[in-house]
Structure 1
Amino acid sequence: MKHFPRTRVTEKVIYLPLKHYKLKTIKQFKKSMKKFSKFFSMMALAAVALLSSCSNEDDPKPAPSLDFVAGTGYTTGDVTLAPGSTLKVKWVANKGDKDMDKFQVTINNAYLVDYAPDGAGSNPYSLKGSNQNTYQGEISTVVSSNVGNVETYTFTVTDKNGNSTSKSIKVTIGTVQTGAIDTWTAVILGNENHATLGSFYDAEGNVVYTQAAAKTNASAVDFVFYHGQANGASMAAPSNTDASAVFTGLTSWATRNATKFKSTSLTQTEFNAVTGANVLGEAATGATDTQVTNLSVGKVFAFTTVGGKSGLAYVSQLSGSFTASGTITITVKIQK
């Protein structure tokens, strides 16, 4: 077997001087930095342009302003009005970024006929001349005659760019409460079987009398409370025959007031909501009876005194019977 001599392979490494290597590296670095600098500069410019473009598009232009003007007889917010009464509203509108173009008034989303600055059919109203900068106007319109109806009046101003501002007033048709009243709470009367509490009441002065004291102040007594065998818990006038059968001393009074009573279907919530003398008068209209019988907790009855004062009374507590001692607790609202 023939053997060949081994050949040694050697690698020749060429070493560059350190100075040359550093110089080459620095040049490449500077060149790369110039490229990056140019790239980032272009990106920054593009970002600024994009932000500027977005800012111009997203910044909303000021819309026109609209304000209601207060004054005697004018409404500036939601209100309750009597059926068939007149609503008056005054306003001022001012331009925002662009001139104002038109103004309109609607009632429940339909154009209000009573708003027609240029005659019939001029709602919406085209704003011209100085009205494009500032526009003042007003309406006077008769509201619905139906109690319980709700009417929403919407006022809208629009500029030439289509930007608009709206404000609304909600009108509820109901009874406007007027006139001062007195409210007497936790008035407690005892029935004919009660040993200490009086059964006689002065509704105008808010005084409870025993039978002896009531006779002395007979002209002031408006209510007599008793429990009847058939009538149950009852509130009567001193002139009532059933009351005089229970309290026999009534027949000897010098004055026996003929207070008039009337049962109602009012709830406690409705009773609590009464704040006006006119509502008490309406509630007592038609009261002709001299007593209300079979009262129960939660019942509301109306009355009118001989002095012409109308009122309502709410029964909050009740106890006793024809044969047992008992009381009634009422809250009274009466015209001043």
Structure 2
Amino acid sequence: MKKLFRNLLFFSAIGSVAILASCGGDEEEPLPTAPSIEVEVEGVEVSGSAISAVEGETATFTVVVTAEGLFNTLKIVPSVDGVAGTAQFIGKDEAAVTLTEEGTVGTVVVTYEFDAEDVGKELSWEFVGVDDEAQEASKTFTATVEAAPVEVVVYTETLIGGQSNATLGSFYDAEENKVYKYAETRETHSASVDFLFFYGDTNKYAIAAMDDADANTAFSSALNVTNALSAIMPTKNATKFKVTALTAAQFDAIGDVDALASAYGEVAADASKVNNLEAGKVFAFVQASARGSKKGLVKVVKTDGTSGTNRSITVTVKIEPSED
């Protein structure tokens, strides 16, 4: 239970309520009106006394105790899954308390940062305001905590050259955002290539897997090598593709893996290429099993070039992160 208060900035000391003795005679004076308590919560979603938080968020509790019989102490009792922890007491003389001149209103601000250990548990805090006559008023808040969204990996404006472009590489590694030329791919990097770019009279601007037949034809012709991909490349990862109806703006809005999975959809990618690409088009891919089968989305930023020697495509890639 100590863990629950690791981030609560109470700056408090354990104490007990001081009850003032009556100075009257034989007749007891009537007790003042019992205190009241108000708690405002900021930084998280709140509905009544229920808090919905996400890992990494911080809840700020502003506790105001109004007591005709003078503010004495704020007691806070935490619990996890219904099991109460050690109460903490913040007395009226502590620095954490802002007290009105007459002493009837005490304000305390405390914070709690939700972390991974809180996910899936029910947390609660009972705030108890106590006056000098030991009269109490309380308010309880409960919190449920969700895991923080897992962000997608984003590579912006990666430039890839066509099969006859001697300046730019044509083979792309979506894990490392690296582009390789044919020779270095063949010699050392074929196992890490997820897709390539080629241009053809029919396919126009096309992204394909290494095992695509049209890509093999295009590179074989450009390099004057028989079966430049199908026979010579040591590894030909069978990345699969599909077109999407996503707009560029919808693609740009995707920031976490849940949003990416939703945009990818339930229909599996099963094509070895996507073709006739142009700026603004968005397509989906899934890596070969040897590469982790991670899903990704690609937005075409720009297509360029007027001949085989200068054809290129610029893309932005969003892909699921690798598991630790």
- Choose the corresponding residue for 2:190, options 213, 218, 224: 218
Q: Give the drift of 1:315.
A: 1.2
Maintained 8 Å contact 1:300/1:315: yes
What is the one-letter code of the residue matched to 2:185? A
2:149 matched residue in structure 1: 178
2:249 matched residue in structure 1: 269
Gaps of 5+ in 2: 1-35, 54-58, 70-130, 221-227
> What CA distance in whole angstroms lies between the structure 2 residues aligned with 1:298 and 1:206?
20
What is the one-letter code of the residue matched to 1:187? T
- Choose the corresponding residue for 1:200, options 162, 171, 182: 171
- Choose the corresponding residue for 1:303, options 263, 269, 285: 285
Residue 194 to residue 90, structure 1, CA distance change in 2 (3 Å): closer
1:218 partner SS = helix
What pairs with 1:85-234 in structure 2 (closer than 5 Å)? 87=52, 94=64, 96=66, 134-138=137-141, 178-216=149-187, 217-234=189-206
Greater Rg, structure 1 or structure 2? 1
Q: Percent identity?
A: 33
Q: Give the drift of 1:204.
A: 1.1
Gaps of 5+ in 1: 1-62, 69-74, 80-85, 100-129, 142-174
Q: Give the drift of 1:184.
A: 1.9
Q: Give the drift of 1:67.
A: 1.7
1:77 matched residue in structure 2: 44
Q: Give the drift of 1:65.
A: 3.5
1:54 matched residue in structure 2: none
Deviation per CA, 1:258-314: give whole Å up to 9, x if none: 001122233333323333234334444522221111111112222111112222222
Deviation per CA, 1:112-148: give whole Å up to 9, x if none: xxxxxxxxxxxxxxxxxx9x9633133679xxxxxxx
Q: Give the drift of 1:224.
A: 1.3
> What CA distance in whole angstroms lies between the structure 2 residues aligned with 1:176 and 1:279?
15
Maintained 8 Å contact 1:260/1:305: yes
Q: Give the drift of 1:94.
A: 4.8
> What CA distance in whole angstroms lies between the structure 1 residues aligned with 2:277 and 2:203?
9
Residue 208 to residue 90, structure 1, CA distance change in 2 (3 Å): closer
- Choose the corresponding residue for 1:289, options 271, 293, 296: 271
Q: Give the drift of 1:318.
A: 0.7
Q: Give the drift of 1:323.
A: 6.0
2:260 matched residue in structure 1: 280
2:40 matched residue in structure 1: 67
| Structure with greater strand percent | 2
Q: Give the drift of 1:222.
A: 1.0
2:211 matched residue in structure 1: 239
| Structure with greater helix percent | 1
Maintained 8 Å contact 1:234/1:292: yes
Q: Does 1:254 align with 2:234?
A: yes
Maintained 8 Å contact 1:239/1:290: yes
Maintained 8 Å contact 1:91/1:138: no
Query: How many residues are paired up?
Result: 200
